[in-house]
Amino acid sequence: MAAHRCGLSLVCILIFSTPAPAPARDQFQEELVIRPLHSGDIYASFQFRTLWDTDFLQERQKKVSHYRLFPKSLGQVLSKFSVRELHISFTQGFWRTMQWGQPFIPSPPGAELWVWFHHTVSDVDGNWKELTNVLSGIFCASLNFIDMTNTVQPSASFKPLGLGNATDHRFLRYATLPREIVCTENLTPWKKLLPCGSKAGLAVLMKSEKLFHSSFHSQAVHIRPICQDEQCTSKAWELRQTLNVVFDHYTSGQGKKEWSLFKMFSRTLTEACPLASSSKVYVDITDNPELSPATHLLSRAVVLGDRRTYSVYDLTRAETFGQLRSFNLLLRWKGDNMLRPLLHAERYVAGFGLQTGEIHTVIYNNHPYRAFPVLLMDSVPWYLQLYVHTLTVTSKSRDNKPSYIHYQPAKDRHRPHLLEMLIQLPPHSMTEVTVQFERALLKWTEYTPDPNHGFYVGSSVVSALVPSMVAMSTNFTQDQPLFSSFVPVKEESSYFVRVYTEPLLVNLPTPDFSMPYNVICLTCTVVAVGYGSFYNLLTRTFQVDEPSPPLAKRLANFIRRIRGVPLLA
Amino acid sequence: MSNDFLQMHLKAVMSCLVIFLYKVHTTKAGQFFSSGHTNNWAVLVCTSRFWFNYRHVANTLSVYRSVKRLGIPDSHIVLMLADDMACNYRNPRPATVFSHKNMELNVYGDDVEVDYRGYEVTVENFLRVLTGRLPPSTPRSKRLLSDDRSNILIYLTGHGGNGFLKFQDSEEISNMELADAFEQMWQKRRYNELLFIIDTCQGASMYERFYSPNLMALASSQVGEDSLSHQPDLAIGVHLMDKYTFYLLEFLEEVHPASQANMNDLFKVCPQSQCVSTPGHRTDLFQRDPGSVLITDFFGSVRKVEITKDTINLTSPVEPPIQRSGSGDIQIESLTYVDQLPVAEIIHQKPKQKDWHPPDGFILGLWTLILLVFFQTYGIKHLKHIF
């Protein structure tokens, strides 16, 4: 009781001694976009954005110490390692472009991390190594396996998505871990970075049992500096947390093209996050699905070269939740038409045996009359030794010479291969890039505990400015929906897209790990038997030994000795 | 007569003292101060890989669940799982790990943080976590930051044999290595008391070689015996848990943070009639009597509460950073985004100037050889013609 009273007085003192808080210069927005796909699956994309008007990298200012909406763990990481841009994603499953179209924010299977450091950093590699270790602790992932053997420095791909003019690629590092597993232990710290956690707002829907029972699940964190206003005179830091999930028509949808929030997430929305300045749900109604509850708010946006119409539900308004104080969406559709994606890529390994092979990357340009260039980036681990003289690029069965090639050969156990090419794709064609390789024999300790599973090769990245049929808007407005404002649009006639291919799984010649034991046993046995026999032959002398006579003879000899008669033989 | 009176007086005083001490010992305050630890840590390790070893992950997660429920926070738990069962493609219910058949209890939950997973669970990493000899860039969640007043619970499960425990089907840790690691921990004062539980075949062999003080050990089977698994689930297709940990979980579900259950109750968990193997324990290195050691001393967490009657003056808050208008006149020109695919720039990109490295040892050696042969053949007098 004394403790309670003291506690209360302490609290009273606290309330009276803190002054009025400084005006808030950070804001938080959340949105959910639901897009029905023609195959019966449904695509849900969550985006949470925290905008903060501060500067982590300014030395003149006092160090930032008051964090409100921006998570402190990430803020401290950014200032300690002088990070200009950070993009990290964890994905389970592969995005099927031909069936689902283009995602809002693409990501390769496994874990991907690419970082632009500030130009004041003197030791980029040291900062990169420490940054991966710190991030592995924050996200409970094995990012500490990122080291020099799987980090590359792309020379033309992965330009910064944020503000800035200097693009010296010495400050860029890119790495993927295709083997990385994504599960609840990665989602838990990701949810804890949100201002409202998983207690209010859209994050209430994120229950791992439903999210991981899907065809595709990707969670990402993107941090970059962006324009604070339309005039773009000052910078603000943007933290975007995105979660893309595609629920399967058959395993989660029971085979019906009828979905609701409850069916997808086993939860309904009850309130918006109180710390959010805007909290919206967008539903793609371009193909005229049946939607209930109906809403009059509509929004038209040009996303990925396509003009789409969205129904908007504003969760900050109480009437969205109705009488039952809960918001559940019901969506039903029948249509089958889908916009064919203009750019699509595949990759596979050809060949047989455990010595050589061939990597084929196939890029499809489905535009009927326009040709456009694409930048293909391939990062192959050192144990697949590429023969660059066998590199061929063919389009429509004719040789297609790339206008830019950057190749950095691998150094065994030190650096992977990096191949970047700018290829012009003819209209309505298929371009094939092939390169032969030889598999290396690894050292005994370099094999994983399950080497017969195979070794992964990370996805290739195809970046392109695809010509758009519909004019894109280059204006930047504050109330633009988040899903259309991720990639900055510089010109109206094309949009930037990044397509990831499948990762490859190759078998390396694997030794039989029980062999050393077998060899030692066999060798020791042979040596013991052989040496032992020789030793005996050389060092022992042989004598004839009389066997002991049988009992009857012994008895007879005894009696004869008593009688004094000569003994038997 | 004064002698008798003195003796009687002394006896009375002694009996009073004894009664008083007994009362102190049995009151809650007495027990609180007799344990001697101020914080709790747990290191929970599952060492098996592959889908058919689902039960080992379920074992570890059920102990994790109990330990979290009884109060140890995630920051004080180092959880090492050698393979992922929850999001394994063979799991018919993703993001779940069940311990009872008919999918009654999901021990994976919604709030799990695994510190070491997959290939990171190796003998080296385990010993480094115990002894604290980790590389400087290791994050805090992967470190065992215990001190000399920490009670640590260590739980190991997997496949083992007489004197060793197998890690991930490719390496082993021996009982001598483990004993030496605990000795290192003792010498560095990294624990106050340590409870070691192991659920493998022939588990008792792992604690035979311990020689550091304040260690208590429990194993699921004696040397020469196998620990058996409990029950398969036909929907999932594998055995869900091992017998010993199953009954341990059942026992721990009854324990709550204020429970008075002690170690003697823990030793009675899973007798031979239920477990088929004979669980063993070792308490000779432990200083306190096991009957006075509470289960929550190791499975729960101590929260130290200090009551104070003083008022505390808070310092003035941090000043807000310099206003934007002050530094605004430096950046008048508008900032722009970078072109994502500047084709013209890329095509005309000059190749990077490679840093000049001094010639390699091989090249130097080759040139030295050539020069040596040349001068040997033709004589030194030609040197002045060259230089």
Query: Which is higher by pLDDT, A334 or B246?
Result: B246
Q: Give the residue-averaged pLDDT of B246-264.
A: 90
Rg (CA), chain B: 32
pLDDT digit string, tens, across residues A392-406:
999 998 999 999 999
What tokens appear for A297 in the block?
A: 């708010």
Bridge pairing between strands B171-174 and B150-157: unpaired
Question: Which region among A532-536, B133-137, B323-327 has the lowest average model confidence (pLDDT)?
Answer: B323-327
pLDDT top residue among A561 and A568: A561
Which residue type, as a one-letter code, is found at position B100? H
Between chains, do A232 and B313 touch, taking CB under 8 Å as contact? no
User: Both tokens of residue A439?
Assistant: 């598999």
List chain A residues with CB under 8 Å of B137: 129-130, 133-134
Q: Is A325 touching B (CB cutoff 8 A)?
A: no
Structure tokens at B190: 């990294």
Per-residue model confidence (pLDDT) at position A20? 44
Give the contacts of B153 (CB within 8 A, at least 6 positions apart): B40, B41, B42, B43, B44, B67, B194, B195, B197, B298, B299
Selecting from A61, A144, A184 the residue whose C-beta is nearest the C-beta of B110 gives A184
Residue B68 contacts residue B102 (beta carbons within 8 Å): no
B159 is catalytic: yes
Average pLDDT, chain A: 88
In tens, the pLDDT along B46-81 reads 999 999 999 999 999 999 999 999 999 999 999 999
Point out the residue among A19, A137, A464 whose CB comes nearest to the CB of B141. A137
Name the DSSP class of A171: G
Instruction: Specify the higher pLDDT residue, A190 or A339.
Output: A190
pLDDT at B332 (0 to 100): 53
Answer yes or no: B100 catalytic: no
Q: What is the DSSP letter of B188?
A: T
- Which of the four pLDDT bands, split at 50, 70 and 90, describes residue A463? very high
A319 close to B (CB below 8 A): no
Size of chain B, expressed as the number of residues it contains:
387
Of the candidates A464, A460, A459, the one whose C-alpha atom is nearest the C-alpha of residue A425 is A464
- Which carries the bigger pLDDT value, residue A322 or residue A97? A97
User: How many other CB atoms are there within 10 angstroms of residue A202's CB atom?
Assistant: 25
What part of A 415-444 touches B (C-beta under 8 Å)? 422
* Interface contact A142-B50, CB threshold 8 A: no
Which pLDDT score is estimated for B326?
43
CB contact (8 A) between residue A144 and residue B120: yes
pLDDT at A390: 95
Residues of chain A contacting residue B305, judged by C-beta atoms under 8 Å apart: 3
Q: Which residues does chain A have within 8 Å of residue B346's beta carbon, measured at their own beta carbons?
A: 156, 375, 404, 422
Per-residue pLDDT, B15: 63
User: Two tokens at B8?
Assistant: 């009687």
Secondary-structure percent of chain A, ordered helix, strand, coil, rounded to 5 = 20, 35, 45
pLDDT band at A220 (very low <50, low <70, confident <90, very high): very high
Stretch B136-143: mean pLDDT: 93
For residue A12, is pLDDT > 70?
no
Whole-number pLDDT of residue A13: 42
Rg of chain A, C-alpha, whole Å = 34
E strand or H helix at A447: none
For residue A358, name the pLDDT band (cuts at 50, 70, 90). Answer: very high
- The answer to whether residue A10 scores a pLDDT higher than 70 is no
Quote the CA–CA distance of A68 and B257 in Å, as a whole number. 34
Whether chain B has a CB inside 8 Å of the CB on A450: the answer is yes
Task: Give dist(CA B229, CA A172) in Å, integer.
Answer: 51
Cβ-nearest to A61 among B84, B321, B328: B321
**Angstroms from A509 CA to nearest CA on chain B:** 18
Q: A192: which residues sit within 8 A by CB, 6+ positions away?
A: A71
On whether the CB atoms of residues B302 and B37 are closer than 8 A, the answer is yes
DSSP B316-372: PPPPPPPPHHHHHTT--SPP-BPPS--HHHHHTPPPPPPPP-PPPHHHHHHHHHHHH
The residues pairing with B193 across neighbouring beta strands, listed in sequence order, are B151
Give chain B's end-to-end CA distance (angstroms, integer).
Answer: 120
pLDDT band of residue B318 (cuts 50, 70, 90) is low
Q: What is the ipTM of this complex?
A: 0.85
* Of the candidates A419, A367, A371, A369, the residue with the CA atom closest to the CA atom of residue A393: A419
Which domains, from first to last, does chain A contain? 27-332 (no CATH), 343-506 (2.60.40.740)
Sheet containing strand A494-500, strands side by side: A404-408, A417-425, A372-380, A461-467, A494-500
The average pLDDT across A305-331 equals 86
Tell me the three state secondary structure of residue B193: strand
In chain A, residues with a C-beta closer than 8 Å to the C-beta of B138 are: 133, 137
Q: What single letter denotes the amino acid at residue A220?
A: A
Separation of alpha carbons B207 and B163, rounded Å: 9
**B352 contact residues in A (CB cutoff 8 A):** 155
| DSSP 8-state secondary structure symbol assigned to residue B300 | S
- CA-CA distance, A287 to A453, in Å (whole number)? 43
User: Side-chain half-sphere of A236: how many Cα atoms within 13 Å?
Assistant: 20
Query: Cβ–Cβ of B331/A234 closer than 8 Å?
Result: yes
What is the per-residue pLDDT for B2? 63
d(CA A306, CA A102): 11
What are the residues facing A46 on neighbouring strands?
Answer: A32, A243
B39-297 is classed CATH 3.40.50.150? no
pLDDT at B358 over 80: no
pLDDT score for B20: 55
Distance, in Å, from the CA atom of A309 to the CA atom of A21, rounded to the nearest integer, reads: 41
Q: Which candidate in B201, B230, B270, B275 is catalytic? A: B201
Q: Report whether B119 contacts B80 (CB < 8 A).
A: no
- List pLDDT tens digits, range B369-379: 999 998 888 87
Q: Determine the Cα angle at A509 with ends A504 and A515, to 5°.
A: 140
Q: Sheet of A330-332: strands edge to edge?
A: A258-260, A330-332, A290-292
Tokens of A54: 């501060």
Give the one of A92, A137, A403 whose C-beta lies nearest to B142's C-beta.
A137
